[in-house]
């Protein structure tokens, strides 16, 4: 979803929670984890390059987050409990 100033990506099962942002963290029941890994790399890079907010449908504590790259890889930049917090 995009408006004039924000893009929000609904992560679904690709990145179900904030804890799943690092590349190695993929759902245990994923049938194609290598495909998922490639998709995560693609979408996380776009999220950083275009300043997207990630929306998590499965996270009990956080609705949205932004990401950044650090020496270990992709990590959480900012976390938001609700849409109003953005």
Per-residue pLDDT tens over the stretch 26-52:
999 999 999 999 999 999 999 999 999
2 confidence band (pLDDT: 50, 70, 90): low
Q: Give every strand in the sheet of 53-55, ordered side by side.
A: 8-10, 53-55, 64-70, 73-80
Q: Are 16 and 63 a contacting pair, CB within 8 Å?
A: no
Judged against a pLDDT cut of 70, whether residue 1 lies above it is answered with no
Q: Is the pLDDT of residue 3 over 80?
A: no
Name the β-bridge partners of 70: 73
């Amino acid at each position: 979803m995009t408006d004039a100033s924000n893009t929000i990506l609904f992560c679904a099962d690709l990145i179900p929670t904030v804890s799943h942002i690092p590349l190695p963290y993929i759902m245990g029941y994923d049938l194609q984890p290598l495909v998922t890994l490639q998709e995560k790399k693609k979408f996380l890079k776009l999220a950083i390059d275009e300043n997207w907010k990630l929306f998590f449908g499965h996270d009990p504590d956080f609705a949205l987050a932004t990401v950044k790259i650090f020496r270990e890889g992709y990590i959480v930049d900012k976390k938001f409990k609700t849409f109003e917090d953005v």
